[in-house]
A and B are shown apart, each in its own frame.
Chain A
Amino acid sequence: MERISLKKSNLFKVATVFLPLALIPLFDHNPYHLDLFTTVGIYALLAMGLNVVVGFAGLLNLGYAAFFAIGAYTYALLSLHWHCPFWLGLPIAGLVSMFFGFLIGMPSIRVRGDYLAITTLGFGEIVRIAFNNLDAWTGGPNGLLGIARPKLWVPSFEGGLHFETWSFSVNPAPYGYLVLGLVAGTACLLLRLSDSKFGRALVAIREDELAASCMGIPTLKVKLYAFGVSSFIAGIAGCVFAAKQTIITPDSFDFVLSVLILAMVVLGGLGNLWGAVLGAAVLGTLPELLREFADYRMLVFGLIMILMMIFRPQGILGGQLIQRELDVRHKESADGAS
């Protein structure tokens, strides 16, 4: 029963963490800080999404930025050509990104461990170069501009009940709330996922794929689910990003971004949802705190990744993945000796 009672508190846990954050825009009116708040939120979405494949399923995806890009371009194109409202674009961007996730995932997940990392990296580069070169649709290196911001329908009672549209503007606070809501919702759903039979199946696959398959887990299918969920989240994040920036260029979605998000997941602790959020918060705000050292930002990221892997591979909050793999290693070497 312990587990059942844990499940009920997911919503509570998410609320305790994120409700206090919702107060920030009330006290801090500095638009610069609020903009950073939103950016960190988008990073948190991405880190949580990447954590599903890298942390939960143990599949190293080095092309994650591509799914972010697909989400962003999907909404941008929908908005520019069909005046698609943001709230409709959001799920579509997620679904399109998920579709590509399946498309790329299906051949990739058959590939062995570290090769998978390179395969996804290759796909990621192909997507970026394609966005760069398909000038007719994507505007090439100049990107797309004039993407519509989200609109809300606010009821008004003056002169009878009717709805007035209220559009997001350069004011970053509404974006902050939008992103916070999405992060909290995603966290809640992912906690449910990890407490379900699929969450257990992913852990089992990570621990011993062969035994998992002998215990009736369709390993390819479950891994593909993880890929789909992960790319859906990236698509959502991309849509929000496009609606916030109103301009997107292929440069925003390069390999550096994929690695940056990976660094966040690693820093927080592979396989730990809260770790991913924490990693996003730390690596998202760090460069702003150390503005005068801005040039050293990427250097420091590289260093963090090296040092974390050597001295604390389980991350700040203690991920589950690495510890488990270490144990499996010990077991395998013991088997080899016998």
Chain B
Amino acid sequence: MNAALELFIQQLINGLTLGMVYALIALGYTMVYGVIQLINFAHGEVFMVGAYLALTAIWILAALAGPLPFWVSFAALLVFSMAGSALLGATIEKVAYKPLRNSPRLTALITSIGVSFFLQNAVMLIYRSKEQSVPEIIPHVQVSLGRISFSLIQGVIFLTSIGLMIFLTWFVKNTKLGKAMRALAEDPEAACLMGISVDRVIRVTFILGSALASVAGVLFALYYGSVNFHDGYLAGLKAFTAAVFGGIGSIPGAMLGGVLLGVFEGLGAGYISSQWKDVFAFLLLVAVLISKPSGLLGENIPEKV
């Protein structure tokens, strides 16, 4: 195989891996926006907290239990982090957003920026140092073909993310709560009339979104081997870009947007310049918002006169 193709495939794999993480976070943005039309600025921080919870769980496991098979530790991390983040998400919703349900959008958006700042600095104060390295949980093995390599952790990221996306799609399509979520997103007044408990659906949306973001956080921490309390801001913003790109409010849109953004970034970093890779994401964000705010799969809703 020639070197150019190998580089391309390698960047594609790296981009897809990152894209999976973006997609998981983007789902939370899109679901929350769907039900309460709020850009939940703090969502990136929930992802970051998820990563720190994974680190904490590793410490706890190391202290309490001896060496475990990697998949047992991984499952434990996931459960711990998801539970913690779900609780966090529900708390944020209850404390910060619920009192503002009928306030202007600007108010809620400013609040969510406040929540984001609060969480970021709370984590910084709790964990003290700026950057923490994450011990290796998933053994560093990889299959190589020529110069293309695919590591075990990448496999884990693919499997976990795709599994969760399938689960979420099933959940939204087939369960009562999922259907209620869709109904609320489509027509809040009708949903209310049909006897859907709006509060409950919103809470579940936050819990689900936060849990998904925390999984992304766990995967991110294990993949890069370090966590930083600043990670949530950039990753969150990129995931938001992904959600907008795919069409905010649309669940398949968030998945598609996340994966595509990851691939763009991977290829952009590989071929153009890694220094400017964040600019690609922001340019894409700005371009989509200005030219086609409904995104790839979103519905075009004209403003009411």
Binding site for B on A (CB under 8 A): 58, 60, 62, 107-108, 110-115, 117-119, 121-123, 125-126, 129-130, 133, 210, 255, 259, 262-263, 266, 295-296, 298-299, 301-306, 309-310, 313, 321-322, 325-326, 328-329, 336
Contact = CB atoms under 8 A, between A and B. Distances in A.
Residue in A110, A262, A302, A329 with the greatest tally of chain B CB atoms within 10 Å: A302
Given A114-B39, A259-B113, A322-B107, 11 more contacts: A107-B286, A110-B290, A114-B106, A119-B286, A122-B283, A125-B237, A126-B282, A295-B125, A298-B120, A309-B110, A325-B104
15 contacts: A107-B286, A119-B290, A129-B276, A255-B233, A259-B113, A296-B125, A299-B121, A301-B114, A302-B121, A305-B113, A309-B103, A309-B110, A313-B103, A321-B106, A325-B106
Contacts of A108: 290
B293 interface: yes
Contacts of A129: 276, 278-279, 282
A255 B100 CA distance: 24
A336 B233 CA distance: 37
Contacts of A122: 237, 241, 282-283, 285-286, 289
B9 interface: no
Interface in B83-115: 95-96, 99-100, 102-111, 113-115
A60 B109 CA distance: 9
Interface of B: 37, 39, 95-96, 99-100, 102-111, 113-122, 124-125, 189, 233, 237, 240-241, 244, 275-276, 278-279, 282-283, 285-286, 289-290, 293, 303, 305
B279 A126 contact: yes
A123 B285 CA distance: 9
Contact of A329 (B102, B279, B282, B303): B102
Q: Secondary structure at chain B's binding surface: helix, strand, loop or mixed?
A: helix
A20 to B, nearest CB: 32
A107 B125 CA distance: 39
A118 B107 CA distance: 15
Nearest to A263: B114
Residue in B113, B233, B278 with the greatest tally of chain A CB atoms within 10 Å: B113
A118 B275 contact: no
A110 B305 CA distance: 16
Contacts of A310: 96, 99-100, 111
Q: Secondary structure at chain A's binding surface: helix, strand, loop or mixed?
A: helix
B290 A306 contact: no
Given A122-B285, A130-B279, A309-B100, A111 B290 contact: yes
A262 to B, nearest CB: 7
A304 B122 CA distance: 14
A118 B244 contact: yes
Nearest to B108: A309
A305 B114 CA distance: 5
Contacts of A329: 102-104
A336 B190 CA distance: 13
Contacts of B37: 114
B285 A118 contact: yes
Given A118-B240, A122-B285, A129-B276, A113 B121 contact: no
A326 B109 CA distance: 15
A54 to B, nearest CB: 8
B102 A306 contact: no
B114 A123 contact: no
B293 A305 contact: no
Given A111-B289, A119-B289, A126-B282, A262 B113 contact: yes
Nearest to A258: B113
A79 B187 CA distance: 58
Contacts of B124: 295
B111 A305 contact: yes
A169 to B, nearest CB: 35
